[in-house]
Structure 1
């Protein structure tokens, strides 16, 4: 029994030792194989860092506005007798738009005008009598006051009548009517909008840090989201105050050449052009890799084999698809701008510039 147990232990030891030895041998051979294995070169595209003309600008979003645009409101309470315009009609300055019922006021005006005529006649008669020594000065003074009161009453009723007739304050395109004939309206009721589409403006905001770069008269471009339409313009006003909540400054620009294609309230992408600069070292933004450690690029190193070195850089302004490089590389360095997601420092590469990412300076 003891002999059999010893034989079993020996056999088990041999089997376990064989398995452990085989695993150790296998791991050693695999490690040697990978240690001597050279990874294939990574295909990348490159760009040469060169000084260039830098067309910088400030980008913002804004809203289209009419140079003249208002919501037309009722001035006096009353019953709408007539609406004299149609939606999207081009109206002229002073054109009659809405007429409220004014029959009572017109009758009152007639009575006031009659009272004025009587007051004028009485004043003239009293002055004549005074010249003859019949009428007293006090009588003439009373007649003058009555004449002035009658004249003021006529002016008051005339103003009330004018409020019953709504006219266009300027030429433009009128919107959809919000009232109907026979409707009773109160002061302040909005009955339509009026927009002068011949001259358009844009309002936009920029951070307070950029306000020193802008001035009245600077040119800009405005682009819509619909129809891909672009217009030129210039800054005409800068709000002399920074919003204490948002820290933004409001600007207004005159947009030229809209020709009725731009409407108030439309979303606009604004770009204010800044003066150009020569000799700025820049790279496509696709060449710069950002991480927690900073911004870096892969620069080609030509030796026995073509390799790359990871170089940390200091970036500056961005414009379009380009980024300014302040420090880290020099003019003439060949930098990887595509394929760097598979690279590490010292990796072998092969350059293929048949397809390269597009970059532009706007």
Structure 2
């Protein structure tokens, strides 16, 4: 009995020891394999930093406003007799746009002109009698007063008649008619909009910290979100106060509008050009990685032989312009940095530069 128990214990010990030895043997072999395994270089794109001419500017969101633009309204109520325009007509100042029924005013004008003629005749007779010495002076004064009253009545009726004929106040493009022939309209009814599209204003706002960079006459460029249309202009006005709620100041620029492609109320991207600066270190925005510890980029270093490695370098980013960003600290001219492929890199990793990518080509080419 004791002999069998001893043999069983011995067999269990041998089996357990074999398992433990195999585990340590396996772990050792894996460690030895991994220690001898060199990861392949990571393909990246790279560029050499060179001092560049920086074109700084102030970017803002603006709204297009016509140099002249009004909603045309009815001056005197009545029935619409005729409409002298169609949508998008180019009209000239003084052109008749709308005619309201004016038969009553024309009749009143004829009566007022007849009364004026009678008053003038009476005044002439009173003048003749007075010159002959047979007429009273107060009779002449009364006759002249009647003439003045009749003239005023004619002017009043003529004004009422003119208010029935609505004309364009300036040259421009007129919008969609909002009334119909035969419709009864009341004073104040808007019947169309008229916009001068030859010159446009752009209103935008800038933070109070950037007000010192603005001045009248400074060049601006604007572009639309639709159709990739752009045009140039100059700042014509800076609001002499800052909004206490938003801390923004309103700025107005006048821009050209070739072919009338800008429309009032349109959304625009505005860039105010500032004086250029030479010798600025700027890199593509894709070259900088942001983390909880700061902003950094990878700089290529020469390893053993022809091998390349990367070093993680923390940088201080500055202003942005398009796809480029200024670096004020951390990099110098001549440094060769990684521009893409950073997600697979770590400090000291081996890399190989992929020269098949043309960094100068626009995206999508």
TM-score, normalised with respect to structure 2: 0.87
Shift of 1:91: 1.8
Shift of 1:254: 2.5
2: CA distance, partners of 1:227 / 1:245: 34
* Cα deviation 1:325-345 (Å, max 9, x = unaligned): 111122211111121221111
The 3-state SS of whatever aligns with 1:199 is strand
1:288 maps to which residue?
288
* Cα deviation 1:40-90 (Å, max 9, x = unaligned): 222222212221111122222333333222221111111101112222222
* Cα deviation 1:142-167 (Å, max 9, x = unaligned): 44444433332222221111111011
2:333 maps to which residue?
331
User: Residue 149 in 1 paired to residue 149 in 2?
Assistant: yes
2: CA distance, partners of 1:243 / 1:145: 58
1: CA distance, partners of 2:5 / 2:104: 130
1:56 maps to which residue?
56
Q: Is the 8 A contact 1:57 1:274 kept in 2?
A: yes
The 3-state SS of whatever aligns with 1:341 is helix
The 3-state SS of whatever aligns with 2:278 is strand
Shift of 1:118: 3.2
TM-score, normalised with respect to structure 1: 0.87
- Between the two proteins, the alignment pairs up a number of residues equal to 359
Counterpart selection for 1:350 from 352, 359, 364: 352
Cα RMSD, aligned residues only:
2.8
The 3-state SS of whatever aligns with 2:281 is strand
Q: Is the 8 A contact 1:322 1:359 kept in 2?
A: no
1: CA distance, partners of 2:12 / 2:119: 139
Q: Is the 8 A contact 1:320 1:359 kept in 2?
A: no
The 3-state SS of whatever aligns with 1:197 is strand
Shift of 1:111: 1.9
Relative to 1, partners in 2 of residues 1:115 and 1:353: Cα closer, same or farther, differing over 3 Å?
same
* Cα deviation 1:190-233 (Å, max 9, x = unaligned): 11122223333333333332222222222222223333232222
1:105 maps to which residue?
105
Q: Is the 8 A contact 2:198 2:256 kept in 1?
A: no
1:70 maps to which residue?
70
Q: Is the 8 A contact 2:197 2:257 kept in 1?
A: no
* Cα deviation 1:214-268 (Å, max 9, x = unaligned): 2222222222333323222222222333333333333332223613333333333
Shift of 1:21: 4.5
The 3-state SS of whatever aligns with 1:153 is helix
